[in-house]
Structure 1
Amino acid sequence: MNTMPTTPESQDANDGDDMSPLLSEPFARAWAAPATGLPGRLGERLGERLARSLQAEQGMVTVRRRKSDALPLADGVLQRPLYRAPTDRPARPGEPRAVSVIELAAGATLTLPAGGSREFLVLRGSAEVDGEALSLRDFLLLPAGSAPQLGSADGAHLFVREMDGPGAERTLVRDREAGWPEFAPGIARRVLWTAGGEAALLYRADPGASVPGHGHGHDEECLMVQGELFLDDVLLQQGDYQLAPAGTGHRITETDTGVIIYAHGDLDLQFNGT
């Protein structure tokens, strides 16, 4: 996936009603400034929260699907880059080498160059990846060195994550066979792959479900497969992606709509105060 550019540190717009003008200049400065129009301590507390929220988000990568660029790779094939790791520093624990969504038109094919281990998750339609017929939410992990051919008879969107690290064995998890083991009240979790405390996961949460504040021992990636989710003060919608580097954390993780999320990060969440 050498055509993928380095992902900017923040890219922000909504899939639904576009509120991005309210998050850009000059409004961003107004939100970041102390809330002088509110009385006394109320204004101070609001200003402090806004400052903390902006500071916490500075180190995270947020990519909105609506604003992501679609780059042509071949006839009928587009790629939406989500992240590419810089090459001028050591990789963080769990940091991906590159992440993107590949969109295949009906009848399109593409052969990826040999690279690191790759995870594939079908987000839309159905596809064939390295000889495996995959349907919606099917997951395939290919070991390093593979140069898989992708194709789709009717069109498909594939999430593709390339990683370095320990060798991974070929792993296939079919959505219709995997089930949804309970993880917490209102939340089910499917472990797709795990090694050394790192994992690829699917979460399904009911409306109103939440996860307590937690830290990240590995980079934590969240791709919105379905629904909407608040990560702190950031609302992620279907198709949006966020990477929170190792050493950061989330105070608030909750959904009003119910959600299905692909996540890559810690197998065991590091809850605050535990």
Structure 2
Amino acid sequence: MTTMPTTPEPQDDDLSLLLSEPFARAWAAPAPGLPRRLAERLGDRLARSLRAEQGMCTVRRRHAAAQPLGDGALQRPLYRAPADRPARPGEPRAASVVELQAGAALALPAGGAREFLVLRGSVDVDGEGLSLRDFLLLPAGNAPRLRSTDGAHVFVREADEPGAGRTLVRDREAGWPEFAPGIRRRVLWTAGGQAALLYRADPGAAVPGHSHGHDEECLMVQGELFLDDVLLQPGDYQLAPAGTGHRITQTDTGVIIYAHGDLDLQFNGT
């Protein structure tokens, strides 16, 4: 007897199970009563969606298991680069969300350049007080200490970024420069054609199809976003490797997104 996948919970809106077996074959098979051409088009669309998703790393916040790091400190891993191959352009060593309870402190070991973005609460990082959406980049070799009086969630990205110096961008001072109709963009730092960015998009805003010269990471800070056929919600993360692309980038709700990738998007057909 064929074992069926676990049935999603009633409030679980992750549709990825419907793109896996045995459902994939059922969607691809011509449905009784459908014109053959329509069935073929549906099958082609499904096949394209599955091929595109195979190259992506998508992590749902609710599915990212919390790992204890110390008293009052948890880590939700989002990505870790394999150690058995060279890094792709712009690929991080690791990305995670660190959750600190009120009064908790955490010492990180020395490593590569680290980016810190506050997603909730406030935290002191390496002697710098940070609040919501504040950003701090520390160059490689630092062993920072994190401490939160009232509790905090902090996105932490570690990578080998050449020439990255200490950079602080405070949310209340940075503003939101216009980037495209309905979209504003804040450049947090940039070097060698790649950048760390915050995007703020109005409901209904969209970005044309584009390809990636560097790995492109998207962390949902607020709102919902379609990346092709995948709906990302607050706390969700996707890494699209260099050489891949997105046909659809659109929001119905309006969003704030942390992104790390190309400073200049490579739009298809340009």
What TM-score bracket applies, with the shorter chain setting the length? over 0.9
Normalised TM-score (structure 2): 0.93
In the aligned structure 2, how far is the partner of 1:15 from the partner of 1:127?
Answer: 32
Post-superposition, which runs of at least 4 consecutive aligned residues in structure 1 deviate over 2 A?
A: 12-38
Aligned twin of 1:129: 125
In structure 2, the CA distance between the partners of 1:174 and 1:110, relative to structure 1 (3 Å rule), is same
Aligned length: 263
> Per the alignment, do residues 150 and 13 of structure 1 end up closer, same or farther by CA in structure 2, a change over 3 Å counting?
farther
1:200 aligned to 183, 196, 208, which one?
196
Q: Distance in 2 between matches of 1:35 and 1:211?
A: 34
Which residue of structure 1 lines up, in the alignment, with residue 175 of structure 2?
Answer: 179
- For normalisation by structure 1, the TM-score amounts to 0.92
Assess, with a 3 A threshold, how the Cα gap between structure 1 residues 13 and 80 changes in structure 2: closer, same or farther. farther
Matched, 1:189 2:189: no
Aligned to 1:260: 256
Q: Assess if the C-alpha contact under 8 Å between 2:218 and 2:238 holds in 1.
A: yes
Q: What secondary structure sits across from 2:26 in the alignment?
A: helix
From 159, 162, 165, the equivalent of 1:169 is 165
Q: CA distance change for structure 1 residues 92 and 14 in 2, over 3 Å: closer, same or farther?
A: farther
| Partner SS state of residue 176, structure 1 | helix
Specify the alignment match of 2:82 in structure 1. Answer: 86
Contact 1:121 1:160 in 2 (8 A): yes
Aligned residue among 95, 103, 110 for 1:107: 103
Q: Say whether residues 1:223 and 2:219 are aligned partners.
A: yes
Listed one character per residue, the Cα deviations across residues 14-58 of structure 1 (whole Å, up to 9, x for unaligned) are: 986454554454324323545565212111111101101100110
Within 2, Cα distance between the matches of 1:15 and 1:81? Answer: 23
Structure 1 stretch 35-44 or stretch 98-107: which is displaced more? 35-44
RMSD: 1.8
Task: Give the letter aligned to residue 214 of structure 1.
Answer: H
**Helix, strand or coil at the partner of 1:189:** strand
What residue in structure 2 maps to residue 5 of structure 1? none
Percent identical among aligned pairs is 84
Provide closer, same or farther for how the CA distance between residues 70 and 33 of structure 1 changes in structure 2, counting only shifts above 3 A: farther
- Shift of the 61–15 alpha-carbon distance from structure 1 to 2, 3 Å rule, reads farther
Residues 134 and 215 of structure 1: CA distance in aligned 2, closer, same or farther (over 3 Å): same
Matched, 1:247 2:243: yes
Structure number with greater Rg is 2
Q: Given the alignment, which residue of 43, 46, 50 partners 1:50? A: 46
Amino acid at match of 1:115: G
Show the counterpart of 1:139.
Answer: 135
Partner residue in 1 for 2:22: 26
Distance of 1:59 and 1:211 partners within structure 2: 20
Among 44, 53, 59, which residue is 2:55 paired with? 59
Structure 2: gaps (5+ residues): 1-7
1:196 to 1:120, Cα distance in 2 relative to 1, 3 A = same
- In structure 2, distance between residues paired with 1:241 and 1:90: 22
Contact 2:219 2:237 (C-alpha < 8 Å) held by counterparts: yes
The answer for unaligned runs of 5 or more in structure 1 is: 1-11
1:52 aligned partner, one-letter code: R
Distance change (3 Å), C-alpha of 1:33 and 1:152:
farther
Q: Secondary structure at the match of 2:173?
A: helix
